[in-house]
Amino acid sequence: MLAAGRTLEEATARIFTQAPGLYGTGVDEVIEESQWEDTAQLADLYQQRNGYTAGGARNGAPAPDALRSMLAKVDHVFQAIDSVEYGLTDMTHYYGHSGAIKLAADRERGAPVSLSYAETFTGEVRLSASDDLLRLEARAKLLNPKWYEGMLAHGHSGAAEIGNRFTHLVGWGTLGGVEQWVFDDAAKTYLLDETMRRRLEAANPQAVRNAVGRLLEANGRGMWKADAATLEQLQGMYAEIEDRLEGVGVAA
């Protein structure tokens, strides 16, 4: 039986994507630009951008109600990782796509759904929950001296990559997937350690500004609970680096 008001094409739709000519969910873009208020807005954006159907005679026809109905039935979101080069925290793709699907499904179901990834690049399939992979990548990359020293050896571009990781922390923070200790240790490793901060500033001051700004954003959005002393220190850093980049107080 067809749902009231739906055509056969809408009721049987199973492949959803963006409107013809558009690419991406848009969720990762608004997170990168800090242009969002709450996760409900991100879920809305995902549904608005991805409520178009493909397959058969659909050809990108809009079917937002069909997508909403399907999301309400989701209890698990899954994506394969088929490249050893990129993990969950290496780019915006994962939280901007499968992460965004989870946000939308959470909202439509009225309860959290699980999110997992299968790593297939080793010849053996290994299935892991997103939270487990995020913990692993935090230790193996962001907080690993071998990783960040390798990045710093690349100067400006390597420091930029470090700064980008703080944006990705906020991206995953929208899903509640970043634990307190990750934010704590990232702040201590890169910013509260003056020697490290100066090295980053020398290589790429914009990367430092992004790292500090993202931690302040994470605190402001309730993803991270920074203590008062740390918060004050970070706010002072941000004001200082902002003035330096804007040329305030620099003699002509």
Per-residue exposure over 204-238, b if at least 16 CB sit within 10 Å of its own CB, e if not: bbebbbbbbbbbbbbbebebbebeeebbebbeebb
Q: Which residue is it, tokens 């690349």?
A: 154
CA distance 22 to 50: 10
Over the stretch 202-219, which tens digit does the pLDDT of each residue have?
A: 999 999 999 999 999 999
Please state, for a pLDDT cut of 70, what percent of the chain lies above it: 95
CA distance 236 to 192: 12
**Mean pLDDT of the chain, nearest integer:** 91
CA distance 190 to 188: 6
Over the stretch 238-249, which tens digit does the pLDDT of each residue have?
A: 999 999 888 765
Asked whether the beta carbons of 83 and 121 are under 8 A apart, the reply is: yes
Per-residue exposure over 149-185, b if at least 16 CB sit within 10 Å of its own CB, e if not: eebbeeeeebbbbbbbbbbbbbbbbbbebbeeebbbe
* Across 136-140, average pLDDT: 96
pLDDT band at 2 (very low <50, low <70, confident <90, very high): very low
> pLDDT at position 3, please?
57
pTM for the whole structure? 0.90
| Cα within 13 Å of Cα(87), Cβ side | 17
Which tokens hold the place of 199? 């090295």
CA distance 245 to 204: 11
Q: Does the structure show a pLDDT above 80 at 9?
A: no
pLDDT band at 130 (very low <50, low <70, confident <90, very high): very high
* Across 220-239, average pLDDT: 97
Virtual CA dihedral for 218, 219, 223, 224, nearest 10 degrees? 110
CA distance 226 to 242: 21
DSSP letters for 53-106 = EESTT-TTEE-HHHHHHHHTT--EEEEEE--SS--TTSSSHHHHTHHHHHHHHH
> pLDDT at position 184, please?
98
Over the stretch 92-117, which tens digit does the pLDDT of each residue have?
A: 999 999 999 999 999 999 999 999 99
Which tokens hold the place of 140? 């193996």
Over the stretch 144-169, which tens digit does the pLDDT of each residue have?
A: 999 999 999 999 999 999 999 999 99
Q: Does the structure show a pLDDT above 80 at 12?
A: no
